[in-house]
């Protein structure tokens, strides 16, 4: 009975180790492929001035949140 448990433990741990090793190899291969073909997948950069206009003004949301907290606390 002890040897069956030991055999099952070794088989299970071996399976996990093999799976993790395969996963690491696949992740490294995927990273290599993405690095190699990054120029194909590159996105066009937008000018900085355009990015600044996309930033929303949160002052109204902050004021509403403060008013709600003050109303809740009394």
pLDDT tens per residue, range 14-27: 999 999 999 999 99
Q: What is the pLDDT of residue 42?
A: 76
Domain boundaries, the chain: 2-73
17-39 in b/e form (b: 16+ CB < 10 A) is eeeeeeeeeeeeeeeeeeeeeee
Q: Sign of torsion, CA 12 31 37 42?
A: positive
Q: What is the pLDDT of residue 27?
A: 97
State the DSSP code for 56. -
Q: Is a pLDDT exceeding 90 seen at residue 4?
A: yes
Q: What is the pLDDT of residue 61?
A: 86
pLDDT tens per residue, range 38-74: 888 777 776 666 555 555 677 888 888 999 999 999 8
Alpha carbon separation from 66 to 45, 55, 74 (Å, rounded)? 37, 21, 12
Three-state DSSP state, 1: coil
């Amino acid at each position: 009975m002890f040897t069956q448990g030991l055999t099952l433990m070794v088989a299970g741990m071996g399976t996990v180790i093999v799976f993790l090793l395969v996963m690491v190899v696949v992740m490294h291969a995927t990273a290599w492929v993405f690095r190699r073909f990054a120029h194909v997948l590159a996105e066009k950069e937008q000018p900085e001035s355009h990015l600044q206009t996309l930033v929303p003004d949160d002052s109204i949301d902050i004021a509403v949140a403060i008013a709600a907290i003050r109303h809740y606390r009394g």
